[in-house]
Amino acid sequence: MPRDTPLVSVIIPAYNAAAFIDRTLRSVLSQTYGNLEVLVVDDGSTDQTSAIVTAFAREDKRVRLLQQANAGVAAARNLAIAQANGEFIAPIDADDIWYPDNLERQVECLVQSGDAVGLVYSWSVDIDDSDALIGSFRAAKIEGNVYATLVCHNFLGNASATLMRRSCLAQVGGYNAGLRSQQAQGCEDWDLYLRIAEKYEFRVVPAFLIGYRKLSASMSCDFTQMARSHRFVMQAVQQQHPELPPGIFRLSRSNLYLYFAHQSHRFKQHRTTLFWLGQALQADIVTPWIRFGLYSLLLQSLGGLLRSAIFPSDRLGQHHTIDAAKTLTEIEQQKRSIALMLLVGDLFHQVIARFTNQPLQLAADSSGSDS
């Protein structure tokens, strides 16, 4: 097979995903990069997920359905990786979407980067249940040796934004399926990225190519479990890298809790927003106060609670509407917001590199690398 057209194995864990799996598969199969296989793992679904995937498999031989008893997202991804034939692995969750040239641009980046680079990622926009953009996005230009920065925050954003070399996964291991037994699902992708970053460099495709679905159902429960997941992952990092300053881990917790607060606010969950703001300050009493977003969230959430008390009919989330008029082009035209986010991210990356004294040495075999 020509070097410039490696086979990409797209892996999709799916549990009761009938509401969105059709759109996810269509977005994958309509990629401009055609040399791919799609492995969907039905993780013990009780809805029509299996039937929908089977229908796609009859029409397109690139699609394969794998099935297992419910064992969690990490186990489902690992099963797909074990059955995959591709040189590159591209995970996508069963409710997210890719825009048409995502794989083409990621493959081009990874092929041109050399073997020292183990992972590339694209930028993401948040979408609602009808695929409409809701205005928020994730963008960064953090590249190279990213380990310390990645400990502080998961700048990649989600589990659907990456393309990885299968050889890297063979070296660092797959997703940690043990987190599920500890009631700590949620950071399996972050944990894997950290293990890859110990040995390989990262690269970015600086374009909005991922649609990351945000739904309000069971958000507070998911956040609680994800916070526990984060704690287990970071405990492992601290044990393996005692040279990292303790402040890095306080900052990591604070960043995560502020993210929870922002997401809770988006769905007008004012009490939950205030709870996670408190958790962020408890984790790190200093850095949250230098963020304008803290004051905005605090005032708006207190105001929302006051309005609910005065006007009982205005319950949390009842009048919340999402701006579905935004388009991908409009997001890209927010040049000032994007430029500011990229600048702050780059400065943060540089500060963390200096704060941790020296970048961790990458352990990947450099033979055949162009770096």
CATH number of the domain at 140, please.
3.90.550.10
- Note whether 210 and 158 are within 8 A (CB): yes
Q: What's the burial of 42, exposed, middle or buried (CB within 10 Å: 0-12/13-18/19+)? A: buried
User: How many domains are contained in the chain?
Assistant: 2
Dist CA 88 CA 110 (whole Å): 9
On whether both 284 and 224 belong to a single domain, the answer is yes
On whether both 26 and 127 belong to a single domain, the answer is yes
How far, CA to CA in Å, does 62 sit from each of 28, 29, 58?
A: 11, 9, 10
How far, CA to CA in Å, does 226 sit from each of 187, 190, 242?
A: 6, 11, 23
Q: Which of 183, 213, 243 is the last residue of a domain?
A: 213
- Is residue 363 in some structural domain? no
On whether both 173 and 269 belong to a single domain, the answer is no
269: its two tokens = 């969950």
- Is residue 146 in some structural domain? yes
pLDDT by residue for the chain (371 residues), tens digit each? Answer: 444 699 999 999 999 999 999 999 999 999 999 999 999 999 999 999 999 999 999 999 999 999 999 999 999 999 999 999 999 999 999 999 999 999 999 999 999 999 999 999 999 999 999 998 888 889 999 999 999 999 999 999 899 999 999 999 999 999 999 999 998 999 999 999 999 999 999 999 999 999 999 886 544 458 999 999 999 999 999 999 999 999 999 999 999 999 999 888 888 889 999 999 999 999 999 888 888 778 888 898 888 888 888 876 554 444 333 343 455 666 666 777 788 778 888 888 888 877 776 454 454 433 333 32
DSSP 8-class letter at 144: B
- Is residue 258 in some structural domain? yes
108: its two tokens = 């081009």
On whether both 196 and 223 belong to a single domain, the answer is no
Alpha helices (H) along 241-315: 246-266, 270-283, 292-310
On whether both 250 and 350 belong to a single domain, the answer is yes
Dist CA 235 CA 163 (whole Å): 26
- Is residue 77 in some structural domain? yes
On whether both 175 and 73 belong to a single domain, the answer is yes
Q: Which of 213, 237, 253 is the last residue of a domain?
A: 213
Q: Which of 181, 213, 245 is the last residue of a domain?
A: 213
On whether both 177 and 228 belong to a single domain, the answer is no
On whether both 240 and 203 belong to a single domain, the answer is no
- Is residue 368 in some structural domain? no
The CB density around residue 281, as the number of other CB atoms within 10 Å, is: 17
Query: What pLDDT does 371 receive?
Result: 29
128: its two tokens = 């609602």
Query: What pLDDT does 103 receive?
Result: 98
On whether both 184 and 242 belong to a single domain, the answer is no
On whether both 207 and 223 belong to a single domain, the answer is no
- Is residue 369 in some structural domain? no
Answer yes or no: pTM beyond 0.85: yes
Instruction: Give 121's strand partners.
Output: 162, 204
- From 138, 193, 206, select the one nearest 164 (Cα to Cα): 193
DSSP string, 89-101: EEE--TT-EE-TT
Q: What is the CA radius of gyration of the chain?
A: 20
On whether both 195 and 239 belong to a single domain, the answer is no
> CB within 8 A of 323, min separation 6: which ones?
134, 135
On whether both 198 and 303 belong to a single domain, the answer is no
- Is residue 111 in some structural domain? yes
- Is residue 121 in some structural domain? yes
Range of the domain at 254: 219-355
